[in-house]
Structure 1
């Protein structure tokens, strides 16, 4: 009887349109703490501190927390990120839809990425739209008292020109949280001939609903150290192990074919 790893290798070998869903579990292998595990950064309620309401009421404290916990300029992609980039270059992986805001997929060389929860790499003025890099914001924090107020526009109310990180906060709506955004994502998933789920518990909506939109009979491969609501569905293959290690094993088997 074939092992789950061998079945997954065959499925990936046969697939030409893989859509990948990634969560915090792929980035923990690059040393980035995850969000909700027992050792994650959100021992305090994330719904409170990472909310639009908290951002407007306490912009300084918000930025101190965000830069300390969500900005990881020195993190480097791990073998999981690198293999996905190679598979994209080879034409197998067509899209990566990620919950992560760390930019590691891009650093690894992947190009077709939907950052569903946005990115920490940039911040934008809520009034004029001017973009600031995370590095600029760190520099502003060190040199300007009201660093979170845009220097390029002059509306009547100061809060209208706050500079907000380009991440989706609680109570917020990102660019993909629109009818057009959802339709684009669901179109990619409906076309896929395999879904590869990496490092996400698939418990946070609406991201958790995406696998439901795959075509009939399309397999799901889940590599995640915890359980997901999809683990016991038909055509679902689950490996509860390290993502980097597992993808390296699959890549090795693919290269031996």
Structure 2
């Protein structure tokens, strides 16, 4: 049965020229990055409050210690799944890639049209002047100063107004894409797609989970994820509960045959 679905998905991808890809933690776990929401994920030990904007303001030092230990993975490298997506983009199959991940592995693999919906851990920015600091720079500052999280490029009346925050979207926070124009840009992309490919996401976290609803009627939805999603039984949906790396490899071999 799985081989038949892979053949059907190969045919869909073969005949598509405007694929929009949605990726979640499942594609990064295959590069050794731990996920958040599985039985062994970070959230089993750490409540979501720790990753909230309020916690960041109340306990910036503890927040950074946790973030740099658990969210910053400078040694991680893309796996074959990331590389094949970059290859399919180069071959004009994939037009846009929207990711929940904050690790930058899609760009490392060569994908260019990437929307980091939840931001990135590669950089941090002053909440007042916007000065950007690389994550590696913040790690260095953590070793050198007790108030490493306070921007020394500008000043405000209240110190916390010029805190340096990682460029990730925290709970209770908003990001570049969490605006009317941001949502419209993404929904327009999906509305124009001739195939939607979801990789390694349980599609449980809103508003990211709502994006598959924006595809046109009849447009195929391919989901490769080890767990189930709320979309699995919808019409024109093809579900493969297997490794992303192995699945994309099989599809790519079929495409090249």
Short-chain TM bin? over 0.9
Query: Gapped runs of 5+ residues in structure 2?
Result: none
Name the residue aligned to 1:60: 61
Residues 48-79 of structure 1, C-alpha deviations (whole Å, 9 max, x = no match): 10000000000000000000000000000000
Q: CA RMSD in A?
A: 0.9
Q: Matches of residues 1-257 of structure 1 in structure 2 within 5 Å? A: 3-256=4-257
Query: Gapped runs of 5+ residues in structure 1?
Result: none
Counterparts of 1:154 and 1:196 in 2: how far apart (Å)? 46
Count matched residues: 256
Q: TM-score, normalised by structure 1?
A: 0.98
Counterparts of 1:129 and 1:178 in 2: how far apart (Å)? 19
Q: 1:45 Cα shift?
A: 4.4
Instruction: Provide the secondary structure at the position in 1 that maps to 2:20.
Output: strand
Counterparts of 1:150 and 1:48 in 2: how far apart (Å)? 24
Q: TM-score, normalised by structure 2?
A: 0.98
Counterparts of 1:45 and 1:235 in 2: how far apart (Å)? 37
Instruction: Provide the secondary structure at the position in 1 that maps to 2:44.
Output: coil
Q: 1:154 Cα shift?
A: 1.0
Q: 1:44 Cα shift?
A: 3.5
Residues 16-58 of structure 1, C-alpha deviations (whole Å, 9 max, x = no match): 0000000000000000000111111122344210000000000
Residues 142-187 of structure 1, C-alpha deviations (whole Å, 9 max, x = no match): 1011000001001110000100000000000001000000000001
